Structure 1
């Protein structure tokens, strides 16, 4: 089982920490180069966008392009999903939250399916699956949401 938490990062956002390491650093090692994207969890997001992103982390809202895929990172220059980023499949079941199928991703083309996305060279096969304790995971997401959204329920 992996440890999950959310911490401020050096880009001005909040990043996932897995077993005490920023996920962005784990992805950089897997790619053998500095990871160019920034976290979608940012103070600068409107409250409604931030709340939706946190709900996606909790499994309470579908991903923007595919129901079970959640965007984690995006381009720091244009902040546009069409430019690309990284998404992950998030599943909640019983006592666990499972992150799998990390992938470089962009806005899908007409008729593109999640399966097609995962078959491309953009899959980050070296990372995951990550399995988190659901209670601790939800507590971390809720705590960040309370801090950023002024104690509103996610």
Structure 2
């Protein structure tokens, strides 16, 4: 086994939820990803739709159990000393498939080796092994320090995924709140933030404004949050289109470092969309527009795997006629842009 060391770290990551083009829902998951040699380990696994065991929305006791296992303070959950590195975002069932690896001590070092895709109790390395990934040797002190910093407060992360919706169109806000809740994001509706206790304002991560909210009302809301010492992201709704607004809010909720995101850029103009990705991944592009009667029109523009770099994708002229927007989604991120005229 190579004695060369790999660096180990952690970073916030997100599995985007959302209302998909076919009307289906995908659950939103915030989790902590493993950073190996400065790069998210998940990005090495192509377009895998999975999350690490260190998810912010699981009970604190379960979070701690997963953490203790990675610290080798508890027995491996699978045979042959194998640990789950990434699992299904919707459930914890092994039958859905998981990326597993052997984690073991070697002196003061910690080694991750024999990565495999596993759906049964025993992994078949010859058939399902990730032969191009690992082994990784980490310095034990660096490895433990990174994981132990999560021990004091996993319950804090579990409490912070709420959105405050402020606007005049109650019907749209109600549909938006229902869509957000269905994918695991808490949402409350209000006309303003006047009289709300500071501790309640501090529970929100994002405030989303409807287009009808006046500048004066927006300023009053911002002032209320500032007085409460609450740091939030503000979203100005582009249009009363629920899937579009969900995408905007999910982008605002993304706490992963910009340099470690798969989706790096999205521009739509001149009859084409330019999408930039950092690693190989499946990308879906969907256009939303409001017709002359303010009805929502949806068109899927692209669904395929892209290699790292910038890609030009033609836009269907009918799909982006008038006031329209493009949403790009991949497993770990979402971007939104108006179509420029």
- TM norm structure 2: 0.39
Other structure's SS at 1:131 match = strand
In 2, are the aligned partners of 1:65 and 1:107 still within 8 Å (CA)? no
Tell me how far apart the structure 2 counterparts of residues 45 and 7 of structure 1 sit (CA, whole Å): 17
**1:59 pairs with 54, 72, 93, which one?**
72
Between the two proteins, the alignment pairs up a number of residues equal to 138
Matched residue, 2:136:
130
**1:14 pairs with 32, 38, 57, which one?**
32
Tell me how far apart the structure 1 counterparts of residues 56 and 11 of structure 2 sit (CA, whole Å): 12
Matched residue, 1:40:
53
- Residue 94 in 1 paired to residue 98 in 2? no
Provide, for residues 92-142 of structure 1, a one-character-per-residue CA deviation record: whole Å limited to 9, x for no partner: 12221000000001242xxxxx4xx23441111110000000001000010
The alignment's C-alpha RMSD in Å is 1.6
- Report the CA distance between 1:88 and its aligned residue: 0.7
Provide, for residues 21-65 of structure 1, a one-character-per-residue CA deviation record: whole Å limited to 9, x for no partner: 00000122xxxxx12211111111112211111111111112222
Flag the structure with larger Rg: 2
Q: Which has the higher contact order (CA 8 A, sep 6+)?
A: 1
**Where in structure 1 do 4 or more consecutive aligned residues deviate above 4 Å?**
none
If each structure's helix is expressed as a fraction of its own residues, which one has the higher value? Answer: 1
Matched residue, 1:148:
154
Matched residue, 2:117:
104
Q: Which runs of 5 or more residues in structure 1 are unaligned?
A: 29-33, 109-113
Matched residue, 1:25:
43
If each structure's strand is expressed as a fraction of its own residues, which one has the higher value? Answer: 2
Other structure's SS at 1:63 match = coil
- TM norm structure 1: 0.82
Matched residue, 2:292:
none
- Residue 4 in 1 paired to residue 8 in 2? yes
Tell me how far apart the structure 2 counterparts of residues 8 and 64 of structure 1 sit (CA, whole Å): 24
In 1, are the aligned partners of 2:51 and 2:87 still within 8 Å (CA)? yes
Tell me how far apart the structure 2 counterparts of residues 39 and 119 of structure 1 sit (CA, whole Å): 21
Q: What is the correspondence of 1:65-80 to structure 2 with a 5 Å cutoff?
A: 65-66=78-79, 68-80=81-93
